[in-house]
Amino acid sequence: MELFVGSARFRRPSAPQARTSGHSSPERQASAEKLDHILRHAARVFSEKGYAGASMRDISRSSGVPLAGLYYYCESKQKLLYLIQIFAFRSILERLEQRLAGVAEPVEQLRVFVQNHLEYFLSHPVEMKVLTHEEKALTEPLRRDVAEIKRRYYSLAREIFEELRRSEGIRGIQPRIAVLSLFGMMNWIYTWYNPRVDPSADRLAEIMTGIFLVGVCNGHGHRIGWRESSRGNAQAADRLAG
Amino acid sequence: MELFVGSARFRRPSAPQARTSGHSSPERQASAEKLDHILRHAARVFSEKGYAGASMRDISRSSGVPLAGLYYYCESKQKLLYLIQIFAFRSILERLEQRLAGVAEPVEQLRVFVQNHLEYFLSHPVEMKVLTHEEKALTEPLRRDVAEIKRRYYSLAREIFEELRRSEGIRGIQPRIAVLSLFGMMNWIYTWYNPRVDPSADRLAEIMTGIFLVGVCNGHGHRIGWRESSRGNAQAADRLAG
DNA sequence: GTATCGTTGGAACGAACGTTCGACTCAGTA
DNA sequence: TACTGAGTCGAACGTTCGTTCCAACGATAC
């Protein structure tokens, strides 16, 4: 988790980063790393007990940071949840925009979207569970911020699908339903995924992209079919099961 | 909600149903209806605030039953959640078994399964949200019971799919992943469904069955295709687009 | 040495939690 | 008439909650 980039912006005014003169960089970094440490443990506790069921004392125990220390680095329990959600979402969006940069074809864009989502989902299961499971736990001032990012993320997926719809001549299925069904497949994973039994993120992304593309497009349009691999690497070809 | 059939079995030993002699039927029924009343409101409160975030006082306020009264009809907060989940699951399974009785064809069985699931889901949104969102909230003695029913429900879906797989000659997709993806599509609905904007349960069931069947089968097997209309009636035959 | 700083430990705050208690009503029985 | 027991409910139980406060700490700066 590389949360601490920019995290100082979110701390209370009285927190250490307010000190702008004198020694700065090493302390600032140590301080930011400690907030990261707290957020990591908080995310784990929230994911295990739920936001309401988790206490600040639980987070204190889990992280080793004393109760008063938690409030020194983050002003409230709400803000902890807020930071976890905001940083996770930003991280996903940032990676996604990078990966999407050179991709023009809608079908490929969708693959990249699913790939990115699942890769983040499975490599940060704790944060993602908090993100998807604790949607309503924030109260209004903070909630709006997270909802705004989420809306942007959904819009991006929907735009990709609309483009795909045009280019493939798909008809008869509402984009809203199609995209939300796709999100359902992906976001439900946290309830069942078992790394010892289930396919890797890459493979899972291929499978779900396949189900979605064929399911949504083949009913009323071209045959898109299955293809394997995505990332442009060398072994791409031999993963083709046919 | 028709919960109170058999609900007496779940009450504490000292509860009113222990009285077996003298006057019986009207009081018993009134008592059971009151438990139903409480469960209905409890389900709503749990679905709005989450199990951990909801207090017995919230449920008392919502239902109009005084705090101590709640404990007269149900021994604990845990048991409230337990009863809500158990009754909802039983209800779904019961209807499903009825509807599945006369259906032999795997494709049609899958349609019935999805239809049944979504119909219950959308007509009992509160209970279903509690069922899907509060999976981990129960502690061990009660949790096992609910998990057992859930396992049976999942197994049923999986058996239908395995049968479908054989009859349609589908290969290359793991049944576990396929079925859990389908559950993802369906169970995610509670996060976005808006009855003023979105299709009815019937229509939604058709759409999702379509995405799933085409997506999972057409990649590696026969073409099944889309179809319109639903409920098990005379037009059943022409629904098979084949 | 001393003043200053970020940080800690621990006690404490009022509020809210799940649950229990006991006094009460009131219809049915003997 | 006296008694019984299901049903009701306000008040309180002990605990835990999020949060605050503050005296003390070790390190750095003058």
Chain D positions with any atom < 7 A from a protein CB: 5-12, 16-22, 28-29
Under a CB-based contact definition with an 8 Å cutoff, are residues B70 and B56 in contact? yes
Closest A-chain CA to B209: A215
Burial of A93 (0-12, 13-18, 19+ CB in 10 A): middle
Q: Of the given ranges (A91-105, A142-156, B1-15, B149-163), which has the lowest mean pLDDT?
A: B1-15
Does the pTM surpass 0.85? The reply is: no
Looking at residue A216, its pLDDT comes to 81
Q: Is pLDDT above 70 for A14?
A: no
Under a CB-based contact definition with an 8 Å cutoff, are residues B212 and A212 in contact? no
Residue A69, CB, less than 7 Å from strand C?
A: yes
Round to whole Å and give the CA distance between B78 and B76.
5
Residue whose CA lies closest to nucleotide C17 C1':
B55
Residue B68, CB, less than 7 Å from strand C?
A: yes
Tell me the per-residue pLDDT of B148-184, one tens digit each, with 9 for 90 and over: 999 999 999 999 999 988 887 777 788 999 999 999 9
Q: Give residue A20's pLDDT band: very low, low, confident or very high (50, 70, 90).
A: very low
Tell me the per-residue pLDDT of A56-87, one tens digit each, with 9 for 90 and over: 999 999 888 888 888 988 889 999 999 999 99
Round to whole Å and give the CA distance between A157 and B89.
33
Closest A-chain CA to B207: A173
Q: What average pLDDT score do residues B110-137 get?
A: 92
Residues in chain A whose Cβ is within 8 Å of chain B:
49-53, 133, 135-137, 172-174, 176-178, 180-181, 183-189, 191-192, 197-199, 204, 207-208, 210-216, 218-220, 225-226, 241
Closest Cα to residue B199, out of B122, B95, B92, B129?
B122
Residue B52, CB, less than 7 Å from strand D?
A: no
Under a CB-based contact definition with an 8 Å cutoff, are residues A50 and A126 in contact? no
Under a CB-based contact definition with an 8 Å cutoff, are residues A43 and A130 in contact? yes
Looking at residue B238, its pLDDT comes to 30
- Across the A:B interface, residue pairs with CB atoms under 8 Å apart total 115
Round to whole Å and give the CA distance between B220 and A49.
41
Q: Is pLDDT above 70 for B98?
A: yes
Round to whole Å and give the CA distance between B99 and B164.
18
